[in-house]
Amino acid sequence: MSGALALNSNVLVLNRFFLAVHIVTAREAFRLLFRQCAEVVSLEEDRFQTYDFHDWAELSQLKKEYEMTHPHDDWVRTVSFDIQVPRIIRLLFYDRLPDRGVKLNRRNIFARDGCRCQYCGKKFSSSELSIDHVIPRSQGGEASWDNLVCCCTRCNVRKGGRTPAQAHMTLTRRPFKPKRNPVVHLRLRSEKYRSWRQFLDNAYWSVELI
């Protein structure tokens, strides 16, 4: 990954009690580290170690020198050295708990439904999908987790302003409100973010992406 793209990669943020509170870009994470507002939390041989900015920069140089890098690592090149993008940082002076709510928005609905039309079951790109009110607004349907689903253009036209029963269509799955941000759930499937899993309990934490 190029340096510019690496600076936009995701970093999990913990409060000072090691509780997950947010996700930021690597650019913001480095800013917090350099200002000594945070430290790196790194998974090494199934144990977590912490580093300040200068120690992390030194460790990064040693990894480069002794070819101890991993295919999933992201790196940023500065004028004088290369530094690895951390996956997790811990805020040193922040102790608030995370917001457990999951925002009702287009991105989260697409992630919850896996970018699949909830009528025909086929997967599409986000540009080919729309959000459908299961019970149309014209019939009193609300904008809520249990009434909004992904829908492809063909099924949207077929359904029109009717309920699924009226249009003789069936939902592939009943819509529901996720316990945790569904975008984060998708990222946890990647080996790249393996170190996040210990801090993101499926039944408890909700982390909002920026």
Please state whether 176 falls in left (phi above 0), alpha (psi between -120 and 50) or beta.
beta
Sign of CA dihedral 103, 105, 108, 113: positive
Residue 120, pLDDT > 80, answer yes
User: CA-to-CA distance for 202 and 205, rounded, in angstroms?
Assistant: 7
Site of tokens 């295919």: 71
CA-CA distance, 25 to 43, in Å (whole number)? 19
- Which of 44-53, 131-140, 192-201 is modeled with the greatest confidence? 131-140
Tallying the residues shown for the chain, one arrives at: 210
pLDDT tens digit sequence for 176-209 = 988 766 656 656 667 787 788 777 754 344 444 4
Q: Give how far Cα 4 sits from Cα of 23, 77, 78, 85, Å.
A: 18, 9, 11, 12
Across the range 109-122, mean pLDDT stands at 94
CATH of segment(s) 106-159 = 1.10.30.50
Predicted pLDDT at 72: 87
**Which H/E stretch holds residue 88?**
strand 88-91
Residue spans of the domains in the chain: they are 3-99+182-199, 106-159
Quote the pTM value: 0.58
Token readout for 40 is 């790196």
Measured in degrees and rounded to the nearest 5, phi and psi for residue 107 equal -60, -45
Q: How confident is the model at residue 210 (pLDDT cuts 50, 70, 90)?
A: very low
